[in-house]
Structure 1
Amino acid sequence: MVRAVPIFDYRRPLSDTAFIEMVVWRVPEPVRASSHPFKYRLALISNGVCTLRYDNEAGKGDHKHIGPVEAPYNFCGLDQLEADFWKDVEAWLKQQDAR
């Protein structure tokens, strides 16, 4: 039986109250409703609340959550996934600085 292989799994603090967590596995078969061999979760947690998350939950396929809003995400590879996530993280950080 072929198992999922971790690609990366790490946490990085952004501030005293916020951190990012990025987890990606190579899976033997695509997750239901996805067409690629990766299972992933990239999240921004602030004050204990997930404020931004990209994931491909089985049955939902590739999507992202920005606050309470869920939207489809067009997965175009791991490099693009990470770039898109960081772009949204940077936008969130700018929004926090403006407060």
Structure 2
Amino acid sequence: MKAQPLFNRRIQIDETAFVELVTWTLPHAVPGSVHRYKYRMALVVRGVCVLRYDNESGKGDHRHWGEQETPYAFTDIDRLVADFLNDVTRWRNEHSDL
């Protein structure tokens, strides 16, 4: 089995911001992860990625909040999406002046 797309969505939030959610199911886990998903989820505001969740090969599951990178404790896809969207809401609330 090769990588199978699970979902690929781009959602325009307003005229200056969008979120993108892309996930694949893999035959084997990527190095650094223990599950069989490859993903990237991003909040882009005025052309700048301000929040991102991904599992880059070798780095495992992690989150970028601005310039800060922290590990992410992956449990399942539904929780991943919920956590990401909660962080999108939090980021937008904390930066409502933009």
TM-score bracket relative to the smaller structure: over 0.9
* Offset of residue 96 of structure 1: 2.9
Q: Does residue 50 of structure 2 align to residue 35 of structure 1?
A: no
* Structure 1 residue aligned with 2:82: 83
Distance in 1 separating the partners of 2:76 and 2:68: 23
Distance in 2 separating the partners of 1:53 and 1:96: 16
Counterpart residue identity of residue 5, structure 1: Q
CA RMSD of aligned residues (A): 0.7
TM-score (ref. length: structure 2): 0.96
Number of aligned residue pairs: 97
4+ residue segments displaced more than 2 Å = none
Any idea what the Cα deviations from partners look like across 1:24-83, whole Å, max 9, x if unmatched? 000011011100000000100011111000000000000000000000000010011011
Q: Does residue 67 of structure 2 align to residue 68 of structure 1?
A: yes
TM-score (ref. length: structure 1): 0.95
* Structure 1 residue aligned with 2:3: 4
**What percent identity do the matched residue pairs reach?**
48
